[in-house]
Amino acid sequence: MHRSAALLIAAAFAFAPLTARAETAIALPPPAPEAPASAGGLETAVLAGGCFWGVQAIYQHTKGVTNAVSGYAGGAQKDADYRAVSSGSTAHAESVKVTFDPRQISYGKILQIYFAVAHDPTQLNRQGPDSGTQYRSEIFPQSEAQRKTALAYIAQLDQAHVFKRPIVTKTGTMTAAFFAAEDYHQDYATLHPTQPYIAINDLPKVENLKTMFPALWRDTPVTVAQAAKGN
């Protein structure tokens, strides 16, 4: 479904009780312990889990994250624009590039948040009201270590049967190029919290982060605009 159609659906439910808007989240076991972080500085994770507005907002409220940028991954640069990606005819997925300090938050913890509150990893080529390969669940490992961590955590979750259906998250596209989305997509949930799509689909996810990961919760989101000023 193109997001313009999704917005019409969201508007139809704009005045529904808040309890009817609750986003599903699930408590997950943490991943296996990882090697201690080196003194090598910041790392990046690239994750796709449906509409990038909500995924970006979640990580902007996560301690240890220094920037979260909405964009496109999995396809060619010539197709990396919203109109083309929304057609479903490119190889891109709406994605978020998360820059984080591994001394404050591990890659495994980034993945735990991704699977627990950011999206439903059992939905194939869709999330909520949005459907198409551009809304698929996919992790784009930025290193062999990230690939191994992601595969091991998915295997751990599958073995524990924490989801009622199999996890369909893809992990095979290594170090895919990431292309930042248009400026009007950046910080969208923060700038438009009352927009019906955001209120119904994304703000409950952010609230679930606060509830389920209180030690990692950041009240004031780190936005792309703020990160740019910091540079």
For this structure, is 51 an active site residue? yes
Q: Which two tokens stand for residue 93?
A: 């997925």
Task: State the catalytic residue, choosing from 28, 45, 48, 51.
Answer: 51
Which amino acid appears at position 24 of this protein? T
Residue 165 to residue 139: CA distance in whole angstroms: 18
Q: Which two tokens stand for residue 80?
A: 């990396």
Residue 50 to residue 128: CA distance in whole angstroms: 8
What would the DSSP string read from start to end of 28-71? -PPPPPPPPP-SS--EEEEEEES-HHHHHHHHHTBTTEEEEEEE
Q: Which residues are catalytic?
A: 51
